[in-house]
Amino acid sequence: CTHDLWALANFSANALFALLRVGGSGIDIRSKARTVNGPITDASQLPKWNYDGSSTGQAPGEDSEVILYPQAIFKDPFRRGDNLLVMCDCYTPQGVPIPTNKRHNAAKIFNTPNVAAEETWYGIEQEYTLLQKDVNWPLGWPIGGYPGPQGPYYCAAGADKAFGRDIVDAHYKACLYAGINISGINGEVMPGQWEFQVGPSVGIAASDQLWVARYILERITEVAGVVLSLDPKPIPGDWNGAGAHTNYSTKSMREAGGYGVIKTAIEKLGKRHAQHIAAYGEGNERRLTGHHETADINTFKWGVADRGASIRVGRDTEKDGKGYFEDRRPASNMDPYVVTSMIAETTLLL
């Protein structure tokens, strides 16, 4: 019986790979499962695997194999037991990272001695919208109509204000089980919109964790028959968009004198504003309008406790003279490998 099989330490590893398609909701994580011999305590003990890249638009039909390199393991909250979720990145058979593999370059940046020595910490706030299947209209909204204006929904409770809490709480629990540093959840300003936070997590682990948390959310919404959208502005008009505010600090910023280091880092970010914006998610121009707690996409502005700034420094950081800052520009559909490594590159390597 199945129980004996697990006792022989045969268990499954669910290989995840992020495709990061342009357009659409910007999220596309595929997975397939295989049985392996355990125990496995580190991704490096797992074999490489492959998939048909011609079915995902990533390889030509005549040479279609894409190779999966296991990079990070998590406990599988769906199969439980000894089963694992494995975050993989993708290579050609010749060992070259394929174009949609953004992890490879990020790992290179995080392994640079200057960056590694600074022990970069990230806290990422992932906002997302739950949509009713088939009609692609937010959960809890009347089909073809609108709910009452924003105001009563943020962090709310009640059948007329909070839509999808069963999904949100199941996701929270599953992420904790998986070993993700999920630090909280809350209802957002737009009804049907929610947020979860990952972090603080170190270096590339923050992105591995965020991708796996997104995957878990996709699996739970699948069971619930609800569609997950990471679109940065799912409903046009006077409704809040969805972002992925990214808190960041280095060792020097967290130590005495850190506020000076923070100000220098922000100055460097300002000089590369256009490059960062270009890498911070598709459709972000629909969200960064200068309204709804955002800065205008073409303007770089920082401030203390300013939610209308591109970069926000917390009151505590100013008062303590050290701490961290928040990059409020990334869109909900950003690739954390790109965003976190680019912040490290701009502030530590340029």
User: Which residues contact ligand NAG by CB under 6 A?
Assistant: 123-125, 181, 183, 197, 199, 201-202, 205, 247, 314, 326
77: helix, strand or coil: coil
Which residue lies nearer to ligand NAG by CB, 67 or 266?
266
Q: Cβ 20 to ligand NAG, closest distance in Å?
A: 21
Q: Cβ 142 to ligand NAG, closest distance in Å?
A: 33
Q: Cβ 315 to ligand NAG, closest distance in Å?
A: 9
d(CA 204, CA 111): 9
Nearest Cα residue to 244 out of 213, 281, 274: 281
d(CA 331, CA 341): 16
The sign of the dihedral angle between the CA atoms of 190, 194, 197, 198 is: negative
Contact present, 122 and 114 (Cβ < 8 Å): no
Q: Residue of minimal CB distance from ligand NAG?
A: 123
Which residue lies nearer to ligand NAG by CB, 205 or 224?
205
Contact present, 198 and 215 (Cβ < 8 Å): no
Which residue lies nearer to ligand NAG by CB, 28 or 293?
293
Q: Cβ 326 to ligand NAG, closest distance in Å?
A: 5
Report CA-CA distances (Å) from 20 to 30, 62, 143, 210, 293.
10, 23, 30, 13, 27
Report CA-CA distances (Å) from 232 to 23, 83, 136, 260, 295.
11, 33, 15, 33, 14
Q: Which residues contact 112 (CB under 8 A, 6 or more apart)?
A: 348, 349
Q: Cβ 325 to ligand NAG, closest distance in Å?
A: 8
Q: How many CB atoms lie within 10 A of CB 119?
A: 13
Q: Cβ 79 to ligand NAG, closest distance in Å?
A: 22
Which residue lies nearer to ligand NAG by CB, 147 or 243?
243
Which residue lies nearer to ligand NAG by CB, 98 or 205?
205
Q: Cβ 39 to ligand NAG, closest distance in Å?
A: 20
Which residue lies nearer to ligand NAG by CB, 150 or 183?
183
Which residue lies nearer to ligand NAG by CB, 19 or 205?
205
